[in-house]
């Protein structure tokens, strides 16, 4: 077929070059899809907050795409994957805890061919981690505190976890070929980030919401009447479910870039893994959404779109770690359980009076923890071989006869990720709270951040300044009227409810 041996060589080189180009283009396109998830997060959060804070939540999401990515460029990539080629060949002992080298993407040697595509893909993942937090602290955090949180998350908290689990040197990494420095036979298996991205963001969301405290008037006294609880819930409900629904569906689409793109390549058989990932991702999301919709209907006899939307997201988070490792029936099971995990944790937040407007800690934190755990239960030997190139795996899912080891490694993994994220988030936010730089003033919170910080409210409501109705069934003691007058001295009192600035 070829006239000379040199023609064969040229053709082989050309094919190899095309494979490299194809893989890099695949990674870039998937990264664009993940970056487009910022649009979904923005719309979801805009629809879920009150109208008086829409401009503020848009600004925070734009801030994620600007400051956070710059922070990841300066040192986030270095701490996550820092593998300066000159340093890597010098015989220096690798660090299993944190990376170093390639700060600002500067290398002392020739950069690897795929480094720029890899950086872009990982940078948009980092932006996703901090965007999760923005919903949990909505409507009450100062802009400077949120900016500090965004920088700290993308520059240090998130990259260190990435190094543990996804780098070639991390102590939890399945890609670490040195069994002496790797924890467990396979390491922690988290294909696309249930733990690395979502548990980190969800845990930070929970701690941030707890330290910040609830929005003014969000919770009443324990002896509050049922009617007042229902009226209170109406005040804080999402102001635009059209935006919230559209944002959720955009996130679902972007999740295919998140999960399928985590194959990192598309040639040489990886397309089969990517296709299976698309199937398991879709099934889990659908199962979790149906679970939340039907369960909520059974309990309240209403078709709650908010529960359904969050259920879809919980299903997507739940399958992210195991999307390449499980069979379709297991994906449905994981999504179904993920829906119940979300419902249970979201109700626990209300019981604890922890105000998370987007339920980020339930959707991303609790479901992310479940997703990491599910790997140790449902992973098959064949899927482990296909996704991670493990020859003759001995340790895999418990339900498939792979023993308890992988489940134990997964539990250790989510435990250290949870502790790391919680402690560092608290170390950043508690001093800010002590100094008075964490939360906006009560007056600004009542009037709305758009009016006070962004040049005027973007959206208004005919219901502005509407007062809360009196309780038709007052209690016969000092708690008879749990809703206190709208005067400055009552700001922050548990029974106080501000005027209805939608």
pLDDT one-digit tens code per residue, 431-453? 999 999 999 999 999 988 988 88
Q: Which residues pair with 141 in a beta bridge?
A: 439
Answer whether residue 61 shows pLDDT above 80. Answer: yes
CA distance 494 to 15: 68
Of residues 235 and 118, more confidence is placed in: 118
pLDDT, position 18: 86
Q: Which of 408, 432, 443, 480 is nearest to 224 (CA)?
A: 480
Answer whether residue 12 shows pLDDT above 80. Answer: no
Answer whether residue 26 shows pLDDT above 60. Answer: yes
pLDDT, position 219: 86
pLDDT, position 220: 80
CA distance 467 to 501: 10
Phi, psi for residue 479 in degrees, rounded to 5: -95, 20
Interval 334-344 mean pLDDT: 97
Percent of the chain with pLDDT over 70: 85
Q: What is the DSSP string of 31-66?
A: HHHHHHHHHHHHHHHHHHS-GGGHHHHHHHHHHIII
Asked if 45 contacts 272 with a C-beta cutoff of 8 angstroms, the reply is: no
Q: Which stretch of 100-114, 132-146, 381-395, 401-415 has the lowest confidence by average pLDDT?
A: 100-114
Asked if 53 contacts 45 with a C-beta cutoff of 8 angstroms, the reply is: no
Q: 447-472, pLDDT tens digit by residue?
A: 889 888 887 765 554 334 434 344 43
Answer whether residue 294 shows pLDDT above 50. Answer: yes
278's enclosing H/E stretch is helix 270-300
DSSP collapsed to 3 states, 94-106: CCCCCCECCHHHC
Interval 11-39 mean pLDDT: 88
Summary mean pLDDT of the chain: 86
Asked if 500 contacts 466 with a C-beta cutoff of 8 angstroms, the reply is: yes
CA distance 120 to 117: 5
The reported pTM is 0.88
In three-state secondary structure terms, 439 is strand
Asked if 177 contacts 220 with a C-beta cutoff of 8 angstroms, the reply is: no
Answer whether residue 485 shows pLDDT above 70. Answer: no
pLDDT, position 480: 32
Q: 141-170, pLDDT tens digit by residue?
A: 999 999 999 999 999 999 999 999 999 999
Most confident of 179-183, 276-280, 350-354: 276-280
In three-state secondary structure terms, 393 is coil
Both structure tokens of 320: 């992210």
Residues in Cβ contact with 380 at an 8 Å cutoff, skipping those fewer than 6 apart: 325, 326, 327, 396, 397, 400
Answer whether residue 214 shows pLDDT above 90. Answer: yes
């Amino acid at each position: 077929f070829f006239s000379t041996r040199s023609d064969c060589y040229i053709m082989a080189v050309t094919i190899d070059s095309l494979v490299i180009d194809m893989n890099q283009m695949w990674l870039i396109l998937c990264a664009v899809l993940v970056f487009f998830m910022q649009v979904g997060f923005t719309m979801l959060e805009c629809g879920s907050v009150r109208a008086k804070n829409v401009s503020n939540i848009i600004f925070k999401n734009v801030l994620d795409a600007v400051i956070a990515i710059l922070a990841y460029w300066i040192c986030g990539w270095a701490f996550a994957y820092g593998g300066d080629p000159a340093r890597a060949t010098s015989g220096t002992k690798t660090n299993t805890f944190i990376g170093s080298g390639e700060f600002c993407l500067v290398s002392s040697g020739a950069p690897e061919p795929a480094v720029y595509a890899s950086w872009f893909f990982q940078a948009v993942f980092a932006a996703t981690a901090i965007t999760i937090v923005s919903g949990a602290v909505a409507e009450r955090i100062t802009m400077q505190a949120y900016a500090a949180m965004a920088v700290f998350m993308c520059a240090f908290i998130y990259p260190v976890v990435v190094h543990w689990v996804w780098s070639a040197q991390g102590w939890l990494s399945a890609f670490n070929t040195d069994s002496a420095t790797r924890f467990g036979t396979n390491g922690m298996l988290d294909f696309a980030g249930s733990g690395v991205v979502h548990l980190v963001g969800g845990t930070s969301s929970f701690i941030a919401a707890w330290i910040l405290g609830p929005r003014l008037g969000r919770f009443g006294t324990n002896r509050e009447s049922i009617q007042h609880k229902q009226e209170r819930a109406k005040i804080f409900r999402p102001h635009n479910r059209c935006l919230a629904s559209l944002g959720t569906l955009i996130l679902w689409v972007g999740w295919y870039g998140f999960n399928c793109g985590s194959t990192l390549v598309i040639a040489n058989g990886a397309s089969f893994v990517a296709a299976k990932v698309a199937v398991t991702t879709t099934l889990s999301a659908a199962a979790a959404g149906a679970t939340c919709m039907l369960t909520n209907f059974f309990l309240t006899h209403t078709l709650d779109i908010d529960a359904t939307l969050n259920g879809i997201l919980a299903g997507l988070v739940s399958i992210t770690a195991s999307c390449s490792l499980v069979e379709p029936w297991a994906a449905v099971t994981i999504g179904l359980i993920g829906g119940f995990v979300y419902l249970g944790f979201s109700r626990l937040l209300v019981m604890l009076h922890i105000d998370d407007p987007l339920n980020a800690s339930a959707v991303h934190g609790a479901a992310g923890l479940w997703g990491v755990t599910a790997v140790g239960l449902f992973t098959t030997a064949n899927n482990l071989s296909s996704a991670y190139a493990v020859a003759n795996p001995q340790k895999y899912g418990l339900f498939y006869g792979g023993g308890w080891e992988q489940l134990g490694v997964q539990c250790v993994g989510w435990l250290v990720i949870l502790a790391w994220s919680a402690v560092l988030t608290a170390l950043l936010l508690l001093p800010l709270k002590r100094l008075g730089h964490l939360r906006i003033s009560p007056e600004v919170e009542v009037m709305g951040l758009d009016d006070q910080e962004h040049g005027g409210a973007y959206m208004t409501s005919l219901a502005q300044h509407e007062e809360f109705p009196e309780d038709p069934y007052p209690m016969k003691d000092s708690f008879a009227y749990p809703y206190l007058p709208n005067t400055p001295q009552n700001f922050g009192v548990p029974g106080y409810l501000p005027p209805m600035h939608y």
